Amino acid sequence: MSSIDRYSTPLAGRWNSSNDMAVLFSPKTRSTTWRYLWLWLAKAEKQLGVDISDEAIAQMEASVEVNEEDLKVAAEEEKRRRHDVMAHVHAYGLRAPAAAGIIHYGATSCYCTDNADLIFLRKGFDILIPKLATLIDRLSKFAVEQAATPTLGYTHGQAAQLTTVGKRTTLWIQDLLWDLRNFIRARDDLGFRGVKGTTGTQASFLAIFQGDHDKVEKLDELVTEMAGFKYAYPVTSQTYSRKIDIDVVQALAGFGATAENIGTQIRLLASKKEMEEPFEKDQIGSSAMAYKRNPMRSERICSLGRMLGNKANDALATFRTQWLERSLDDSAIRRIMIPEAFLTADVLLSILNNVASGLVIYPAILNKHIKEELPFMATENIIMAMVAKGASRQDTHEAIRVHSHAAGAVVKMEGGDNDLVERVKKDSFFEPVWAELEELLKPETFVGRAPEQTRKFVEKEVAEALKPLRESMKGVVEVQLTV
């Protein structure tokens, strides 16, 4: 049966997750990592006096990389034994017969599975962090370019005071900076399960070393160092605490929420024809309505962001339902939850980076919408200018109120344009400020410190956050979106 006849995750297929992330959670990487863990354990045990031959270590080193035949052998053995770890112990032993008797010596299955998962979690963040930093960098450049471009702000879905396109973008960036902080913290907080034994008491290793507690502790330290971790969790049950998964998955879920929020805002702005995601020359927006330019990438961002956000519930539920030193009801869900969380985050970053590199704004539409609302917003400026010319504030307020309501009726009842300014120009009461009206209605005078806030935010906050990541960002490979 060919691959087209069986379900495969669209994360690695249709939506083209990065090769690095897809390889990280592949069966080959998983089983190869187990072999490295067995090799490190054997080396450390030998160093501490366990009788393991040089030939055994040499054969383990020579066959540590898993091939397709190894996976086939392990799959057949697992059908017979119904135990994946022991199936791979068997397959490794066939490749390294001199070590067959000491592979997994003193260990429990979670020595392989849990330590490997912790390695994958750390490497997963290593893949995501430079991509998230790249997204922040791209959006920051867009924000600076549009720092002074006026646009209507919206509160409660209604037109509000003006802001700028760049300032609005900094709000997205600030959320992403918090996600970046959470990714880095979650990665750097990860420890190693280490060599803890069946229920976390290290009893089997204490027996191997004939009651020598110092050697048992040293064994834990040596394997942890070989795995590249700074420390191992001081106490565990058979597994590392599933609360660690909460910490990791919530960081990813938080990013999923940010992604969905950004995608939603782009879609809202696209519906107003103010902003668009990249739309390619031959792209089709609708099979029926040929004129349409649907924001399909932003819609996909929202969909995948929602799915990623919901992964946090899986991690929470898994942790709180664990039984004593361990139960196996965590296994199946984690095999799906952890890879899919990282793959989803990876796909989201590819799409977001694509969108951020080609965001389009339409100044004419922005100005059109501003002109529709600005006369109402300028009424306070007109009142203040009139008072400065000697008019009564109360009389001016009443005159502008009457004209505003009349102009509002034209817009709402007749579908006409906002003619408030024309009404003011025809009312001799306002003659003292007629010459100033054009200046009083300039959009850039209504954006406050938005341009300055934008530039300072990028120059200070963004620059400081990205400085230690610049080198890793150079290695980010652009993933081509196929659909």
Give one DSSP letter per residue of 454-483, joined into a string.
HHHHIIIIIHHHHGGGHHHHTTPPPPPP--
Catalytic residue of the set 2, 156, 287, 428: 156
Beta strands in 158-316 (DSSP E): 158-164, 275-276
Q: What is the 3-state secondary structure (H, E, C) of 307-369?
A: HHHHHHHHHHHHHHCCCCCCCHHHHHHHHHHHHHHHHHHHHHHHHHHHHHCCCEECHHHHHHH
353 neighbors 138 (Cβ within 8 angstroms): yes
CA distance 204 to 219: 12
| Number of Cβ within a 10 Å radius of residue 245 | 26
Q: Which position among 286, 303, 327, 392 bears the catalytic label?
A: 286
**Maximum pairwise Cα distance, the chain:** 105
Question: What SS3 state is found at 152?
Answer: strand
Q: How far apart are CA 198 and CA 204, in angstroms?
A: 8
Pairing state between β 150-155 and 275-276 = unpaired
Q: Within a 13 Å sphere around the CA of 259, how many CA atoms are in the beta-carbon half?
A: 33
Active site residue 156: yes
For 350, the token pair is 């590819």
Decide: 92 and 61 in contact? Cβ < 8 Å.
no
Name the token pair of 245: 């998964």
- CA separation for the pair 376, 408 (Å, rounded): 9
The token duo for 317 is 């539920």
Backbone angles phi, psi at 360, to 5 degrees: -120, 135
Distance, CA of 338 to CA of 432 (rounded, Å): 69
CB 131 within 8 A of CB 476: yes
Q: What sign results for the dihedral spanned by CA atoms 398, 399, 400, 401?
A: positive
Which 3 state secondary structure label does DSSP give 41?
Answer: helix
Q: Which helix (H) or strand (E) holds 154?
A: strand 150-155
List phi, psi (to 5°) of 442. -70, 125
C-alpha span between 393 and 201 (Å, rounded): 81
For the annotated catalytic residues, the residue numbers are 156, 286
